[in-house]
Amino acid sequence: MVQLDVEGTLAELTLAEKIALTAGTDFWHTASVPRLKIPALRTSDGPNGVRGTRFFNGIPSACLPCATALGATWDVDLLEELGHLLGEEAKAKGAHVLLAPTINTQRSPLGGRGFESFSEDGVLSGALAGHYCKGVQAEGIAATLKHYVCNDQEHERMAVNSIVTQRALREIYLLPFQQALRICQTACVMTAYNKVNGTHASENSALIEDILRREWGWKGLAMSDWFGTYSTSEAINAGLDLEMPGPTRWRGEILAHAVSSNKVAEHILDERVRNVLELVNWTDRSGIPEHAEEKKLDRPQDRALLRRAAAESAVLLKNDDQILPFDKTKPIAVIGPNSRLAAYCGGGSAALASYYAVTPIEGIRSESQADVHFSQGVYGHKQLPELGPRMKTPDGKASGFLFKVYNEPPGHPSRKAVDELHLVSSSGFLADYKNPKIESPTFYADMEGTYTAEEDGTYEFGVSVAGTGQLFIDEELVVDNTKNQHRGSAFFGSGTVEVKGTKHLKAGTTYKVLFQFGSAATSHLNPRGVVAFGPGGFRFGGCKVLREEESIAAAVDLASKTEQVVIFAGLSGEWETEGYDRDHMGLPPGSDRLISHVLKANPNTVVVIQSGTPVTMPWVNETKALLQAWYGGNEGGNGIADVLYGNVNPSGKLPLSFPVHLRDNPSYLNFRSERGRVLYGEDVYVGYRFYEKTRIQPLFSFGHGLSYTNFSLSALRVAVSPEKHHIQAGEDIKVSLVVSNTGPVAGAETVQLWVIPPTSSSINRPVRELKGFKKVFLKVGEWREVDIVVNKGVATSFWDETRNSWVSEKGDYELLITGTGRQDLRFPFQVAKTRWWSGL
């Protein structure tokens, strides 16, 4: 790759070439113009790992803990370090542009992609995102802030009109983008699917041109979300540089006609192309050649970093009687549906094939020096567990199965395989699967292998497809999903609900498994309103039918006989995923019953919950020790074990408020699309701002998190810069205080700085708002002076809808400094005069 003379190149481009450069050519690549040495750029999902160019049978990658887990670290240095790792992973995958981070705001616990964003608070989210992007871009990889803006639900996400006041838009939803750009000027921004106050984000000039480019001074490339472009002239004129993915739907000949008819002025098109060429130059520093081979890293130092991130993200919510940490020399009972499940990431575009994934029980076993006993209790899956990883190829030599592709349907006399792959996962999204020997969109695949039953009993098998599918066990048709199909949530909403069947299997017996799949073109579902994701997808799974009463009784019996007991429960990428929102805040069926019964048998049982967003906990008052462990990435199980056994002192703090009931959350009456719109009726009172204003007690508060040690805050000193006529950089509040570790073990404290507005404020304001934070690690007995600096004007402002600007209003304010304990520090200060301002 070479540095382009942007203006010279722009002058040499033909109209057709300019138009081609404003859209992708396939799912992941931009267009090239070889005669002018303009290369194609490769994009790849994020946000918690770099997938590469393939959803189907892709090259494995490092998987970070999910974004809410990283939000719980409150550690900007760690986020920057992880950004460097993502940059290096992007280079291994040949990706010039990382489609991350996601920094939308979790209005509701039900949001399907809530786990993809850092926090309900814009200061925390923006600061973490900014440092994440600094790390990524230091490696020459373009980071992409997304989804700009108000893409906070999945229901009708491409059509819903997000109706939001200008004040809430600025103070809540745009704030993380604004904060992140203060720290790192990202090379790219991705627009949201939804409308904002009546106009789709991808054709909203007020958002792209007025705020992002003119007011904030951002200079970069604005791209659409995938299939999130809905017009030609409107999107180009509004500032959308790049339509993704390709081939184009809205540019090409349509855009050429728009230019020739003066619906799009040629200088506007030139500006879109100029931003594409500038991105080509920007990414040249990565050294990644065009169409690079995709490779793996999986280095020891990366494993160590991911393990540290998983451990630092865990939030100790309760620890009465100091039950934790566990004693490694004592036996332990491990119970529950997530024990042997590697819930390492959420679902959708955040999901990827990881190099490996450590389950909680594997983490426990690696650290325990005594016996580890297990009891299932209940299942936690939504769809039956994938069968593929428990199968063997027909020759019995490898895990998984053979995947053979045909142009002809089963039973055709001259049927001949045109492709053969060895797969392990029995869930395949074929959006990017291609083979030159496939003659049409209608093709077929046979998946063959064997399965050996571990126990006698009735086994249940399930099939979900974007297409058609039949599952045979020893030539007996057990599941038929070829007719009477009903739409489900699989494959971004293009697949069926899971169809199930049963068969009695004998322990130790090996059975022949055959799954016959027909591509999306064979589906009986009505495709109307669904984005076409290529040839479709398949998923087949199965497991022994569990007799829940007996299984819970066995778990209770084990817990009653064991001193140290831990239950692993929660959600997974099946329950929290792109494409749909959760129906409720509860755990999977049976989990609450299991936890309550085990707690009655052994009140010292530790409960570990894995989820990306809050869940209800009806048993919370019965448990003495509770750990929120999120989706922990490759090293999730090891990170959890490190905290449970005290290798790592937990330091995570909640980046989200956990309500007692769903009805308590501020968006309860205003979530999901109703006749094409969603009203952001809670206005600026999102998350903790709502709970504190209404005095509704959450289950666990934003910023809450315990430690195995104790900290004290003291010696507060505050220096407030004199006010100028206009708010400017350097007009700061400088806070210094001493943080001491007064407890028995080393640990990390997070100091949180809040601003309390004046009682004389001209409008209603939150009780307090987070404006800064700092995390510090301290050995036993160690103390350290911690400094936090915030801009006085920024820290005291709200959005004035009358003046259409930020306003720092005169009055008596107060700084509030909090930490892990209940010892708060306060400092009053004044804003002498009211001032209005705009910009970053």
Residues annotated as part of the active site = 225
Is cis: bond before 325, omega within 30 of 0?
Answer: yes
Residue carrying structure tokens 């869940």: 615
In this structure, are strands 161-163 and 188-191 parallel, antiparallel, or unpaired?
A: unpaired
Q: Mind spelling out the 3-state secondary structure of 351-369? A: CCCECCCCCHHHHHHHHCC
Residues 752, 681: contact at Cβ < 8 Å?
no
Per DSSP, 619 falls in state T
Q: Which element (helix H / strand E) includes 124?
A: helix 122-138
In this structure, are strands 332-335 and 564-570 parallel, antiparallel, or unpaired?
A: parallel
Residue carrying structure tokens 């989820």: 611
Helices 636-644, 360-367: crossing angle, 10 deg rounding: 50
Q: Which two tokens stand for residue 628?
A: 């929120």
End-to-end CA distance of the chain: 33
Residue carrying structure tokens 């010696």: 715
Query: In angstroms, rounded to a whole number, what is the distance separating the alpha carbons of residues 9 and 17?
Result: 11
Q: Mind spelling out the 3-state secondary structure of 312-355? A: HHCEEEEEHHHCCCCCCCCCEEEECCCCCCCCCCCEHHHCCCEC
Rg value, the chain, Cα: 27
Give one DSSP letter per residue of 6-29, joined into a string: HHHHHHH--HHHHHHHTBBSSSSB
Helices 300-313, 76-92: crossing angle, 10 deg rounding: 140
Per DSSP, 59 falls in state P
The strands making up 711-720's β-sheet, listed across from edge to edge, are 711-720, 732-741, 783-791
* Helix segments in 533-618, DSSP class H: 548-560, 591-601
Strands (E), 391-509: 391-392, 401-406, 417-423, 427-429, 444-452, 457-466, 468-473, 476-481, 499-505
- Which residues have CB under 8 Å from 296's CB, separation 6+? 59, 60, 61, 92, 355
Strand partners for 606:
566, 625
Q: Which two tokens stand for residue 651?
A: 């330091």
Q: How far is CA 202 from CA 99, 243, 598, in A?
A: 16, 9, 51
Query: In angstroms, rounded to a whole number, what is the distance separating the alpha carbons of residues 338 and 348?
Result: 20
Secondary structure of residue 159 in the 3-state scheme:
coil
Residues 657, 687: contact at Cβ < 8 Å?
yes
Residue carrying structure tokens 């299991």: 594
Q: Which element (helix H / strand E) includes 399?
A: none
Q: Which two tokens stand for residue 553?
A: 């009784």
Residues 630, 649: contact at Cβ < 8 Å?
no
Question: Which phi and psi (to 5°) does residue 159 adopt?
Answer: -120, -20
Residue carrying structure tokens 């049976």: 590
Secondary structure of residue 408 in the 3-state scheme:
coil
- Count of CA atoms in the C-beta half-sphere (13 A) of 560: 9
Query: In angstroms, rounded to a whole number, what is the distance separating the alpha carbons of residues 417 and 401?
Result: 15
Query: In angstroms, rounded to a whole number, what is the distance separating the alpha carbons of residues 190 and 530?
Result: 21
Per DSSP, 759 falls in state T
